[in-house]
Amino acid sequence: MSAVVDTKNLSKRYRDKFAVNALNLTVEEGEVFGFLGPNGAGKTTTILMLLGLTEPTSGEVSVCGFNPTRQSLEVKKRVGYLPENPGFYDDISARENLLYMARLNRIPEDDAQRRTTQVLEQVGLADDGQRLVKEYSRGMKQRLGIAEVLVKKPIAIILDEPTLGIDPDGAIRILELIKNLNRDHGLTVLLSSHQLQQVQQICNRVGIIVKGKLIVQGELDELGKAILKGRQWNFLLDVSGNTDGLDRDLQSIKGIDEIDKRAHGWFLRCTEDVRGEVVALVSRRGLNLLQLRSEDPTLEEIYLKYFREA
Ligand SMILES: Nc1ncnc2c1ncn2[C@@H]1O[C@H](COP(=O)(O)OP(=O)(O)O)[C@@H](O)[C@H]1O
Ligand SMILES: [Mg+2]
């Protein structure tokens, strides 16, 4: 089995509420996987189960071939984890923080020195290693967190909302860093986020989780089609002639859900294929049909829809 992460019907219930509900998630070796979902969707709870930090209520989970609940040390040896709010010792330098971490992991001293220099360089903090962590910006702290994760040479890393609360420039740096770690070092990455745009920039595949359920997972460009298959049609209609009251007439066609006037025509969001009715209406009104074509929704539209519903 080559999947780094593999879950089957993984669930976690807090009292009477499912935080994660029958989740089937796979992350393959060598990929950057975006775990996407609005706040409260169940991302952190899932990640905690992957690391053996909280026990599933039911279902199966395997990480690097191990069961995180029973073999958490095996998982921790191989998988680095950057929590949402990594903690550091503020009154010592970044470098000393890393050395401390290395000692905790029983890495021999000269090895630890070498590793520390190396990872500070990897995350772009080589010149700031001697500074106290309390002088670090949030973005720098997050990169230091990644450095700390890298010290023990993981084969996979799990990052929980690594760009949360970071300014756009800082976020881009972090995303590029993650991309480079994957490309240059073959690290498998699972990254959670509630920001689609950021995930889109660096992920090969994404999974969208809403209210504890994975509603879709797959390659970015395939998702749009997959998720709405048979459930929604979008059309762009453009006509010339007297269009007074056309909105109202369109509204009366069964199956048209939403009408949006755009610069070049009307965008129709529909629950069924209404092209026949639309063409009939256009001809009844004596208008010229300039175009009527279907428009696949962008992933962003889909995500926003679920985001709103969550
Ligand atoms: N320790 C806990 N006890 C009770 N409910 C929790 C606990 N942790 C998370 N939850 C609930 O589980 C749901 C998922 O939370 P979480 O996994 O933190 O979502 P996300 O990371 O996607 O924002 C939320 O409704 C949250 O309130
Ligand atoms: Mg979270």
Question: What does the chain come to in residues?
Answer: 310
What whole-number distance in Å separates Cα of residue 204 and Cα of residue 182?
Answer: 11
Pick the closest to residue 37 from 302, 277, 264 (CA basis).
302
Confidence band for 297, pLDDT divided at 50, 70 and 90:
low
Please give the angle made by the CA atoms of 170, 175 and 179, to the nearest 5 degrees. 150
Confidence band for 232, pLDDT divided at 50, 70 and 90:
confident
What whole-number distance in Å separates Cα of residue 221 and Cα of residue 69?
Answer: 35
Please give the angle made by the CA atoms of 297, 234 and 215, to the nearest 5 degrees. 45
pLDDT of residue 303: 73
Task: Look at 61-70, 232-241, 293-302 and tell me which has the smallest mean pLDDT.
Answer: 293-302
Of these ranges, 43-57, 167-181, 190-204, the one predicted with the greatest mean pLDDT is 43-57
Confidence band for 227, pLDDT divided at 50, 70 and 90:
low
pLDDT of 298 > 80? The answer is: no
Domain with CATH 3.30.70 in the chain: 230-309
Q: What would be the CATH architecture of the domain defined by 230-309?
A: 2-Layer Sandwich (3.30)
Of these ranges, 87-96, 206-215, 223-232, the one predicted with the greatest mean pLDDT is 87-96
For residue 188, what is the enclosing H or E element? strand 188-193
pLDDT of 1 > 60? The answer is: no
Closest protein CA for atom 26 of ligand 1: 40
pTM above 0.85, yes or no: no
Ligand 1 mean position, distance from CA 108 (Å): 38
Task: Look at 31-40, 112-121, 125-134, 290-299 and tell me which has the smallest mean pLDDT.
Answer: 290-299
Q: For strand 205-210 and strand 32-36, is the pairing parallel, antiparallel, or unpaired?
A: parallel
pLDDT, tens digit, 9 for 90 and up, residues 51-107: 999 999 999 999 999 999 999 999 999 999 999 989 999 999 999 999 999 998 889
What whole-number distance in Å separates Cα of residue 174 and Cα of residue 220?
Answer: 20
Ligand nearest to the CA of 85: 2
Closest protein CA for atom 1 of ligand 1: 14
Radius of gyration from C-alpha coordinates of the chain: 24
CATH number for the domain formed by residue range(s) 3-223: 3.40.50.300
Mutation test of ligand 1: which of 10, 11, 13, 14 has the most ligand atoms closer than 8 Å to its C-beta?
Answer: 14
Mutation test of ligand 1: which of 11, 45, 46, 191 has the most ligand atoms closer than 8 Å to its C-beta?
Answer: 45
What the block records as the tokens of 21 is 């509900």
pLDDT of 269 > 70? The answer is: yes
pLDDT of 214 > 70? The answer is: yes
Ligand 2 mean position, distance from CA 40 (Å): 7
Confidence band for 237, pLDDT divided at 50, 70 and 90:
very high
Domain with CATH 3.40.50.300 in the chain: 3-223
